[in-house]
Structure 1
Amino acid sequence: MNKQSTDAPGEAAYQDGFPIRVLAERTGVATSTLRAWERRYNLLTPQRTPKGHRVYREKDARIVERVVELLHEGHSLAAIAKQIRQPVQRIERWQPEMDLTGVWRDYLQDTLRAIGDFSHERIEAVFNEASSLYPLDMVTERLIEPTLVALGQGWQSNPAGIAEEHFYSCWVRNRLGARFHHGYNQATGARILCACIPGDNHDIGLMLFALSAQSRGYRVLYFGQDLPLEQIPQIVERSGARAVILSAREPLIEDRERQLAALSRQSGVPAMLGGQASDKPLPTFEAAGGIRLGSRMLAALQVLVSRVDVHSGGSGWRRISNDG
């Protein structure tokens, strides 16, 4: 069911429309990015209420979803916009040319140079430009994560490598933390618990996942590093969380996997494990109903959305048989 805009109650022309925050929640694209696409590329042409608020319709949601899909395939915004403005019949069957501008390579190189100079301002400028034009999920996958990988691979051969990695990691935590705090009150969907397993202090990937989940409307209870597993059932009961999302970087020892399996049976809500430790099968955990998310954030978000309805009442858990 479409949500009616509350900008102009009783206006028949807007009965089937919805405001920009609903479009952002449905597509995972930030409101600021939607406005930038409209302003710079004319990708969207929303109607306006008498008070000037944007009003979107189902066709706008389909356009945004298509734009995101094409961006992930590597096409440029300029090329997409050129074709999106054509009749709708052509959009569905269009196969656009690949983006050969290397914008993400340029963003990465500019960021690494800024890190080498310990320039907070330049890191911020590159991030702001990228995040104003592209969904946060894509900025994460194609800029933040590659930057962290590059720093992690080069620290031994770089005299200032450790300092550079710490400098950028601190920037990421501060920047994402501020964005997370700003967006929390805008999320109105199901609560989910996000934490690293005991002994795991690598939480940047989890922060990125939590922020993207929040942009989709989930209310995230973020606990960060090293959360004792035995306290999680109490948190779920008191908070009404609809899912438990844990992160682990290092391979699990057998005892830890058994503990996660026990948590999956006891929590009463989906227990999910992401991070590099979840890239390989975890038979004991999965036999207990646990769900592996893997280390690819976009794929992990798709699993979350498929299992936990963001607008759910009750448990909100969609149990899917292991048989498919």
Structure 2
Amino acid sequence: MGNYKIKDLEQLSGIKAHTIRIWERRYNLISPDRTDTNIRLYSDKDLKNLLLVAILNKNGHKISKIVEMPKEERIQLLEDNLHVRGEQDAIFDILILSMIELDEEKFSSELEYLFDTFGVLDTFIKYLFPFVERIGIMWKVGSITPVQEHFITNLIRQKLVSRIDQLKIPNKNHRKILIYLPEHELHEISVLLYNYIIRSTGKYTYYLGQTVPLNDLIKAIDQVQPDAIVTSFITRINKSHIISHLKSIQTKPKHKTSIYAGGFQIDSLADDELPTGVKKILSTGILLDI
């Protein structure tokens, strides 16, 4: 797939562009092609090499020692030492590497380690949700391809659906939370995660999924009469459409219902632009007490 610019490598590896250039010149770590206008372009192989070295360097190994190692030794050292410090950046690095390589086995192995070490809920809140947000940014700025983004988000979706299915179905007498994505919104990972977090606290969730037409949504609200409504706006749409949509659902429940909204498009709105009573999902922690 290839053709990464140096800013893409910086975004993906967490290593400053200036440092990448130094490593390139001093250690011949990567060998970019150049365009007719002398812009560096890096391949998938370059990115994988840089990610591997970056992970080891962040785990305390000197760059001068790393570059002397055969690739097999670097990989073995990575497997031996990756989780010694357990930092979020180190974990993100291995998840990004599995995405770039389209390596399901590596991703699943890392995820199982996280589940065993931190528990399912903490893994989703502290690691997978921030990772998904980071992927979204990378995709928006063009640092990763649609294939890479789709590959990793579909793996995460599979894991989420599997874990949701393992949760006990709560009692319908508990608080009722309706979760959905508005019409034309397909980015499902965030609301699947919302569903897992909320249901894991014992609340009864009605998960309606992607691209729910407004008229059908209003009928569902009338039928369910939820205590809270949760949604997400990621796809770029007009700000006035978001506000109009939220106002439309705000008036439908017969009793007071809280509305929680997340996603890039909500983050870009000022608090006073949202309809009164609509709360931003600034972190997943807010969902624990919804």
Please report the TM-score for the alignment, with normalisation by the length of structure 2: 0.60
The separation in 1 between residues aligned to 2:171 and 2:94, in whole angstroms, is 33
Give aligned-pair identity as a percent. 16
Deviation digits for residues 84-141 of structure 1 (CA, Å, limit 9, x no counterpart): xxxxxxxxxxxxxxxx924323322222222233222221121111122324453234
Partner of 2:252: 266
What letter is aligned with 2:281?
Answer: G
Partner of 1:147: 131
Does structure 2 retain, via aligned residues, the 8 Å contact 1:180–1:211?
A: yes
- Aligned-pair CA distance for 1:147: 3.2
Change (3 A) 1:252 1:135: farther
Partner of 2:279: 292
What letter is aligned with 2:248?
Answer: A
Does structure 1 retain, via aligned residues, the 8 Å contact 2:227–2:258?
A: yes
Deviation digits for residues 274-306 of structure 1 (CA, Å, limit 9, x no counterpart): 22333333546433xx322234222x315xx2x
Please report the TM-score for the alignment, with normalisation by the length of structure 1: 0.54
What letter is aligned with 1:275?
Answer: G
Partner of 2:163: 179
Deviation digits for residues 140-183 of structure 1 (CA, Å, limit 9, x no counterpart): 3442234334444555355xx33221111110111111111221
Q: Secondary structure at the match of 2:177?
A: strand
What letter is aligned with 2:266?
Answer: S
Deviation digits for residues 180-234 of structure 1 (CA, Å, limit 9, x no counterpart): 1221525663221101122222121111111111111112111121112222332
Does structure 2 retain, via aligned residues, the 8 Å contact 1:148–1:165?
A: no
What letter is aligned with 1:261?
Answer: K
Does structure 2 retain, via aligned residues, the 8 Å contact 1:192–1:243?
A: yes
Does structure 1 retain, via aligned residues, the 8 Å contact 2:129–2:193?
A: no
Q: Which of 112, 115, 120 is the equivalent residue of 2:99?
A: 115
The separation in 1 between residues aligned to 2:138 and 2:177, in whole angstroms, is 35
Partner of 2:287: 301
Alignment of 1:59-78 (within 5 A): none
Alignment of 1:14-163 (within 5 A): 101-154=85-138, 156-157=142-143, 161-163=145-147
The separation in 1 between residues aligned to 2:136 and 2:287, in whole angstroms, is 24
Q: Secondary structure at the match of 2:186?
A: coil
Change (3 A) 1:184 1:199: farther
Change (3 A) 1:275 1:262: same
The farther-off stretch of 204-213 and 188-197 is 188-197
Q: Secondary structure at the match of 1:206?
A: helix
RMSD in angstroms over aligned alpha carbons?
Answer: 2.8
Partner of 1:190: 175
The count of aligned residue pairs is 201
The separation in 1 between residues aligned to 2:181 and 2:116, in whole angstroms, is 30
Q: Which of 214, 220, 223 is the equivalent residue of 1:238?
A: 223
The farther-off stretch of 213-222 and 146-155 is 146-155
Change (3 A) 1:187 1:208: farther
The separation in 2 between residues aligned to 1:263 and 1:240, in whole angstroms, is 11
Partner of 2:151: 167
Q: Which of 191, 198, 203 is the equivalent residue of 1:218?
A: 203
Does structure 1 retain, via aligned residues, the 8 Å contact 2:243–2:275?
A: no
Runs of 5+ consecutive residues of structure 1 not aligned to the other structure: 1-99, 309-324
Partner of 2:214: 229
